[in-house]
Amino acid sequence: MLPAVLKLCCGISYPHVRSMAGLQRAALAVFGQEFRLLQNRFSFPARSSIRHTHRSAALADEDDVFYQKQGEAALNEALQIVENRDGWTLETAEKNGDVIYSKVLTGNRKVFRLEADLDATADELHDILFFRVEEMHEWNPSIRRITVLKHVGGNTLVTHEVSAETAGNLIGQRDFLSVRHSSKSESCVYLGGAATRFESLPPQPGFVRAEDGPTCIILQPLQDAPHRSRFTWLLNMDVKGWLPQSLVNKALPRAQVDFTKHLRRRLAENNSR
Ligand SMILES: CC(C)CCC[C@@H](C)[C@H]1CC[C@H]2[C@@H]3CC=C4C[C@@H](O)CC[C@]4(C)[C@H]3CC[C@]12C
């Protein structure tokens, strides 16, 4: 009941929100976030897992096939978005040559494509970004923790990702439940991902469950420098909650720039070891 009433209030005030000044909007955003957390608390936990305690092996295999297919589909969809060269606009160009392009997809979702050249081979990056994904919080302060919940074959994972608190905490902590899939062709490595479901991990109280994907990373050796790679990352994220779109559209490319900065530091450490 309470969430319904709050939702109604937010709905009524929406036209006013559009005409608000920045600071007021930010304050409202934080309120919205709180509201969302409250809502989570109301709808949690309810779900029982008793039904699943006597699962047969056949059912487990069915799950494996489901995640495998979902991972592959996410990668393919994301690659199609990246490979379609129409409609991208330059968002930022960093001094070091990194660029971010953005594009608005049908349904009004804004996605970001970062391109950066890194001092590592595609295999090294595959290792850091996929096989050792649970170590990511050690070198990336934007991430609180990543847990692999399930391995399917050698190339598909179900992961739970928790973002770190941000300075000022304007965008509150998010958690993601994703399927991650990797594939290799000739010399390129492709990493794909998308939001998924996992019975024993419904949205957590205190977190906003965001949705990642379909998203992908392409790791491609540079022709004139085989020990370096072109890193192409499609960020396609629904951060959920009640944040103003303008704030989100600024935070996302910034998150990409930060991610790349920390990844470079991680690689430099590797190279000096
Ligand atoms: C702006 C706020 C809400 C979010 C900031 C945190 C973002 C940048 C974090 C949270 C979870 C993170 C993802 C977690 C796991 C993976 C899988 C890995 O194979 C490539 C990187 C990738 C895809 C991360 C990219 C950065 C990421 C999306």
Would the pLDDT of 53 be above 90?
Answer: no
Least confident of 41-45, 105-109, 129-133, 263-267: 41-45
Atom of ligand 1 nearest to the CA of 191: 19
| Cβ–ligand 1 contact at 142 (below 6 Å) | yes
| Cβ–ligand 1 contact at 176 (below 6 Å) | yes
Amino acid 19: pLDDT: 44
Would the pLDDT of 190 be above 70?
Answer: yes
CA–CA distance, 30 with 165 (Å, rounded to integer) = 13
Q: What is the mean pLDDT of residues 79-104?
A: 96
Closest residue by Cα to atom 14, ligand 1, is: 161
Collapsing DSSP to helix, strand or coil, 61 comes out as helix
Phi then psi dihedrals of residue 3, to 5 deg: -60, -35
* Residues with Cβ within 8 Å of residue 228, at least 6 apart in sequence: 117, 118, 119, 120, 121, 221, 222
Cα–Cα distance list, 149 to 145, 178, 189 (Å): 12, 10, 23
Per-residue model confidence as pLDDT tens digits over 241-263: 888 999 999 999 999 999 999 99
Per-residue model confidence as pLDDT tens digits over 37-52: 333 333 322 223 333 3
Atom of ligand 1 nearest to the CA of 255: 8
Amino acid 37: pLDDT: 37
| Cβ–ligand 1 contact at 133 (below 6 Å) | yes
Phi then psi dihedrals of residue 205, to 5 deg: -65, 140
**Domain spans of the chain?**
76-272
| Confidence label for 6 from pLDDT (cuts 50, 70 and 90) | very low
Residue type, 127: D
DSSP H helices in the chain: 2-18, 22-43, 57-83, 122-126, 136-139, 245-272
Amino acid 72: pLDDT: 97
Amino acid 84: pLDDT: 95
Amino acid 59: pLDDT: 65
Amino acid 132: pLDDT: 97
- Six-digit token pair at 22? 């920045």
Q: From ligand 1's centre to the CA of 118, what distance in Å?
A: 18
Q: What is the mean pLDDT of residues 42-65?
A: 52
Least confident of 34-43, 177-186, 190-199: 34-43
Amino acid 17: pLDDT: 41
Mean pLDDT of the chain: 82
| Confidence label for 34 from pLDDT (cuts 50, 70 and 90) | very low
Q: From ligand 1's centre to the CA of 64, what distance in Å?
A: 23
Collapsing DSSP to helix, strand or coil, 166 comes out as coil
| Cβ–ligand 1 contact at 180 (below 6 Å) | yes
Amino acid 27: pLDDT: 44
Would the pLDDT of 216 be above 90?
Answer: yes
| Cβ–ligand 1 contact at 234 (below 6 Å) | no
Q: DSSP letters along 224-267, please?
A: TEEEEEEEEEEE-EE--SS--HHHHHHHHHHHHHHHHHHHHHHH
| Cβ–ligand 1 contact at 191 (below 6 Å) | yes
Amino acid 200: pLDDT: 84
**Domain 76-272, CATH:** 3.30.530.20
| Cβ–ligand 1 contact at 239 (below 6 Å) | yes
Q: From ligand 1's centre to the CA of 25, what distance in Å?
A: 26
Would the pLDDT of 1 be above 60?
Answer: no
Closest residue by Cα to atom 20, ligand 1, is: 129
Residue type, 196: T
Q: What ipTM was predicted for this assembly?
A: 0.94
Amino acid 56: pLDDT: 56
Angle at 30 between CA 26 and CA 36, to 5 degrees: 140
